[in-house]
Homo-oligomer: A and B are copies of this chain.
């Protein structure tokens, strides 16, 4: 069994949506466990297998989206699992784990439901741009649809019970992925981190905990899921995110006004390197494409558009690249293939996506 997305990317990476010059995507995630079953860490292999089968059926029966596909991760090659993680359809932990587990996801990749992750169910809705309201409302629909199929573990005092105490209560994690190249360039990110920390939100890199803000991409998400209602959690993000957006835009304007030459230098160098290099690491690709994205957003680069850049972000990730090449490649070969792929994609037809 294998999965092939070809050169398609998820709707949330389309570059569309409100405030998409700064906001890549809005994400809501719920953690749920099934009543009458042990948490994953305590469940036997047999129970986990039983859970996987039951939840596979339940999630499909719930019809959470018009067209839903289920991938049995136990049967899926490593590169395919890594690809699903790169698409943010599953967590890296879920990709790398062992045992009976899976994921259901909609064709547009806006909805995904992980089965037998840290919790029995981890569901997410993911949309491009700043769209917490609709994302949350769609998440509620998914949650209710699945609850009709399986009984959730719920405590009237604590709320939804979860494997890790940080998820108890609402089981909710809301996060917004931001592109903050101007704030990164002027070293003013610390202020953003502080503002987020004040309302108990945390800033992470592109691929969650422990990853740096590669390519100036940052995820802001709530730390606590207990003691505040879903509306309160989303409400405080809806206050702080527009402030960060305005801040990033103001600094971009300032850079263009007062340091145009330096900004142009960075943007054109990035394009020059993308069009010339023969070896590009995954991390450097993020960085270069980030500069290109900034260049397009502030009007320096007119030859490419955001959807193309987003497609390259995704397709140049290690697993995607190997799927495109149709071969397992070591790190050196990947860096060479990545440089060739990026150069080719930006050279001919040298056009917009």
Task: Note all chain B residues with C-beta closer than 8 A to A268.
Answer: 276-278
Are A269 and B273 interface neighbours, CB within 8 A?
A: yes
Q: Which size bracket describes the interface of A in this complex? A: 10 to 19
CB distance from A344 to the nearest CB of B (A): 14
Nearest-Cβ distance from residue A303 to partner chain B, whole angstroms? 13
- Smallest CB separation, A249 vs chain B (Å): 22
Residues of B within 8 A of A271 (CB): 276
Mask: chain A, 250-279; 1 = CB below 8 Å from B; 0 = not = 000000000001101100110111011111
Q: Which residues of B contact A262 (CB under 8 A)?
A: 278-279
Chain B nearest CB: distance from A267 CB in Å? 9
Q: Main SS of the interface on chain A?
A: helix
A261 surroundings in chain B (CB, below 8 A): 278-279, 336
- Chain multiplicity (copies): 2
CA A275 – CA B273 in complex, angstroms? 10
Would you call A206 an interface residue if the criterion is a C-beta within 8 Å of the partner chain's C-beta atoms?
A: no
Q: Answer yes or no: A180 CB below 8 A from chain B CBs.
A: no
Q: How far is the CA of A262 from the CA of B278 in the complex (A)?
A: 7
Are B265 and A269 in contact, CB atoms less than 8 angstroms apart?
Answer: no
Pick the contact of A276: B269, B278, B339 (CB < 8 A). B269
How many angstroms between the C-alpha atoms of A264 and B269 in the bound complex? 18
CA distance A279 to B266 in the complex (A): 9
Contact B278 A275 (CB under 8 A): no
| Interchain CA distance A339-B273 in the complex, whole Å | 15
Q: Which residues of B contact A279 (CB under 8 A)?
A: 261-262, 265
Q: How far is the CA of A273 from the CA of B268 in the complex (A)?
A: 8
Chain A 78-95 interface residues, beta-carbon cutoff 8 Å to B: none
In the complex, the chain B residue whose C-beta lies closest to that of A260 is B278
> CB within 8 A of A339: which of B265, B278, B336, B339?
B265
Of B264, B265, B275, B278, which contacts A265 at CB under 8 A?
B278
In the bound complex, residues from chain B placing their C-beta under 8 Å from that of A272 are: 272-273, 275-277
User: Who on chain B is nearest to A280 by CB?
Assistant: B265
Across-interface contacts of A273 in B (CB, < 8 A)? 269, 272-273, 276
Min CB–CB distance A277 → chain B (angstroms): 5
The chain B residue sitting closest to A339, CB to CB, is B265
Q: Cβ of A277: which chain B residues have Cβ within 8 Å of it?
A: 265, 268-269, 272
Residue-by-residue, is A262-305 near B (CB-CB < 8 Å gives 1, otherwise 0)? 10110011011101111100000000000000000000000000
Q: A269-B276, A272-B273 are in contact. List 13 more A-B contacts (CB 8 A).
A: A261-B278, A261-B336, A262-B278, A262-B279, A265-B277, A268-B277, A269-B273, A269-B277, A269-B278, A271-B276, A272-B275, A272-B276, A272-B277
25 contacts between A and B (CB under 8 A): A261-B278, A261-B279, A261-B336, A262-B278, A262-B279, A264-B278, A265-B277, A265-B278, A265-B279, A265-B339, A268-B276, A268-B277, A268-B278, A269-B273, A269-B276, A269-B277, A269-B278, A271-B276, A272-B272, A272-B273, A272-B275, A272-B276, A272-B277, A273-B273, A273-B276
4 shortest A-B CB distances, which residue pairs?
A: A272-B276, A265-B278, A272-B272, A265-B279
Identify the A interface with B (CB < 8 A): 261-262, 264-265, 268-269, 271-273, 275-279, 336, 339
